[in-house]
Amino acid sequence: MTAVIPSEATPGTDDRAAGSGRRRPRAPRRSGLSFRTRGEIALFTGPALIVYIGFVFVPIALAAYYGFFTWNGVGAPTKFVGADNYIRAFTDPNFLKAIQHNAFYVIASLVVQGPLALLVALLINRRIRLRGMFRLLLFAPYVLSEAVAGVAWRLLLPPGGAINAILGGLGLDSWKHDWLGDPSVTNWTVLVLISWKYLGFAVVLFLAGMQSIPDELSEAASIDGAGYWQTQLRITIPLLGPTIRIWAFLSIIGSMQLFDLPYILNGGRPATGNQTMATYMMLYGQERHMYGFGSAVAVILFVLSLAVALVYQRLVLRRDTEGALTRGVF
């Protein structure tokens, strides 16, 4: 972001420039804002602010409040239990397993999707035939809604479904599984499906990043005698760093909050061995009508995600987002 000198016509840029104030030329003070400007600010930010407070902050505050009660949703919460719900969540083997499953998705998504997407992006970035079609095919699963993809795979993956029939047809009978019911394979099934679903997104992100790398750099490298792979390893990938780091951030947060695919595929329950923190929350917060305990789990999920996001921003994204972060909020 460049240092925009706020003018009366662009009041919205003020806050973002404020964070970068330390190292950039200080923007002129605007203490003399006209009534009209303030009115405009109020008019433009007001509705969004109200919606944001009403649908984000208030629910978070309410969840934090309900998390201290045992409450089945009928009448007002009266049975205050302090931190009991939190203690119970962290001593419940099923919740600890759910955290492990999320950690598995976080790490495996990075390890599997990252290099694969990079490789595909590098290949597609060359001037090959049908490049547009490859891009379309790779991106199609991402555009598909999770619900539609989940239902489709749910029909393909049962023991008597198409996937096992194909494996049988290929003579791979020993590879047949109850992909959505056998606890020893369900996490791998979900991993493959989220990789299928989100690979296209990573590829498109990487391709966009590659467009911004000047051709002159690789031209200069080839004049100096660098081969194709050498150029990619020494020039393209390092310069793609900011894009890769942003993708990894999105992937980590997505994996931590993974809900829709497992929920639609097989409920994401303990018995099928692929429960995530979010499906655990849903199980208690909705089905079992334990709204207090469910709220506590929601708060845990929120705090974990926030902590990871903040640490990642501070340690990894710092270089890329210099100036775009608001300081001193947390």
Interaction site with another protein (CB under 8 A):
14, 18, 21, 26-27, 29-31, 33, 38-39, 41-43, 45-47, 49-50, 70, 72-75, 88, 92, 155, 157-161, 178-183, 266-267, 269-273, 283, 286-290, 293
Question: In 157-285, which ranges are continuous DSSP H helix?
Answer: 162-169, 186-211, 215-223, 228-231, 237-239, 241-256, 260-266, 277-282
- Closest approach, Cβ 184 to another protein, in A, equals 9
Cα distances (Å, whole numbers) of residue 108 to 204, 243, 311: 20, 19, 20
Cβ atoms 234, 148 nearer than 8 A: no
> Rounded to the nearest 10 degrees, how much is the dihedral formed by the CA atoms of 75, 76, 77, 78?
-100
Burial 185-200 (b: 16+ CB within 10 A, else e): bbbebbbebbbebbbb
| Identity of the residue, 297 or 317, whose beta carbon is nearer to another protein in the bound complex | 297
| Identity of the residue, 256 or 297, whose beta carbon is nearer to another protein in the bound complex | 297
- Closest approach, Cβ 34 to another protein, in A, equals 12
Position 96, amino acid? L
| Identity of the residue, 93 or 169, whose beta carbon is nearer to another protein in the bound complex | 93
- Closest approach, Cβ 94 to another protein, in A, equals 8
Q: From CA 123, how far away is CA 185, in angstroms rounded?
A: 31
| Identity of the residue, 27 or 253, whose beta carbon is nearer to another protein in the bound complex | 27
| Identity of the residue, 33 or 253, whose beta carbon is nearer to another protein in the bound complex | 33
- Closest approach, Cβ 219 to another protein, in A, equals 44
Q: From CA 252, how far away is CA 254, in angstroms rounded?
A: 5
- Closest approach, Cβ 192 to another protein, in A, equals 15
DSSP string for residues in 35-90: HHHHHHHHHHHHHHHHHHIIIIIHHHHHHHHHTTEE--SSS---EE-TTHHHHHHH
- Closest approach, Cβ 101 to another protein, in A, equals 14
Per-residue tokens: 171? 């003579």
- Closest approach, Cβ 36 to another protein, in A, equals 12
